[in-house]
Amino acid sequence: MDNNNLEQITFGGGCFWCVESCFNMLKGVQSAISGYSGGHKDNPTYEEVCTGETGHAEVVQITYDPSVISYEQLMDVFFFLHDPTQLNRQGNDIGTQYRSVIYYKDEAEKAKAEQAIETSKQSGRWQGTYVTELTKFDKFWPAEQYHQGYYNENPTQPYCSAVVGPKIQKFKKHFGELGMLNAE
């Protein structure tokens, strides 16, 4: 990977454990880090974010090589991994911290995000009104170390085995068939 040409994207699609795990499997992704963005509290903790009072969303910040994987491909994965029609929730995870959100850095990236939303709508993958927020990026706060690679370290934890594991298997099947995954 050419470290001089790396770019970053930050978005939230529900619980960051499964989103982070999947993005770290993609060719062209240098890192996917779980964290928090969009709130008013500096350096929030997981416990604080879970209250819904900090305004932060659980997000993943992805560093990637656009010569290997495009912004549009990352957006396709993003919309594959979560339901953008569920307001402030994903499945049984409920609260503003689980909102669907794309953080953009400039107007050009905002336009690409708007196009990605439109492309996803036209795909027919999700029925209903999209509620994905487009928000100007401000700050990213990495989550506590125990959240990084959480699924890989805790695959038998009840939430992971019931929710994260099946989502990852579906992701691996679909994107593996497209040749987008790193070799295991």
Query: Pairing between strand 100-104 and 133-136?
Result: parallel
The residue annotated as part of the active site, out of 15, 18, 22, 160, is 15
CA distance 97 to 138: 16
Dihedral sign for Cα atoms in the order 135, 140, 142, 143: negative
- Has 15 been annotated as catalytic? yes
- Ranges of beta strands (E only) in 65-116 are 89-90, 93-94, 100-104
Residues with catalytic function: 15
